[in-house]
Amino acid sequence: MSQAKILTAKELRRVLDHVASRKHAARNRLIVLMTHWAGMRVGEVAALRVSDVLNADGTVKTEIRPDATQTKGKHARAVFVSERLQREIAIYVKLMSARQRTGQLFVTQKRTSFSANSLCHSLNHIYQQTGIAGASSHSGRRSFITTLASKGVGVRVLASLAGQRSIATTQAYIDVNDDQKRAAVELAG
């Protein structure tokens, strides 16, 4: 089975534009961005509670700390939240009622929690509707890691950000394209 497609910035914009024109636009936008801008696994996103992203004073946390029950491999980790993702979370939370701010961050249209599997299907459906061949629920995570790698972030840092214990696993996520190879050889001479 081939790996999930890594999205370009233009393709991500296409996904976000598509999401904006559909039901549950704010929720789905933030779900997509949590995978692309924080490299979160779909299961981690599905398990998020409002209290995982908000401080007691209602401000957005700079780090999300999924506990062992919320992560793959049952290892707690820190997810660092960029300023632009913090702004997106704040916008989404502002749209929630006071009652909604006490439970799961993301709920289905039936107001139940997403399972990792149901959220995976939802993301796959979004990518399918957008018409981006090869994109799947894992595309955000691969795109996050590859984008940072192409900007010179070291593999150890990438592994830590991705919550992976093996740098070999992280290296398998990184895609290399011809533009990167051209830029690399220019460094040599």
Contact 57, 136 (CB under 8 A): no
CA distances from 128 to 44, 115, 119, 131, 136 (A): 22, 20, 14, 5, 8
pLDDT in tens, the chain (189 residues): 578 999 999 999 999 999 999 999 999 999 999 999 999 999 999 999 999 999 999 999 999 987 766 666 667 788 999 999 999 999 999 998 877 788 899 999 888 899 999 999 999 999 999 999 999 999 999 999 888 888 888 888 888 887 777 787 778 777 777 777 777 788 887
pLDDT at 71: 61
Q: CATH classification of 1-189, choosing from 1.20.910.10, 1.10.10.10, 2.30.30.100, 1.10.443.10?
A: 1.10.443.10
With a threshold of 0.85, does the pTM exceed it? yes
Ranges of each domain in the chain:
1-189
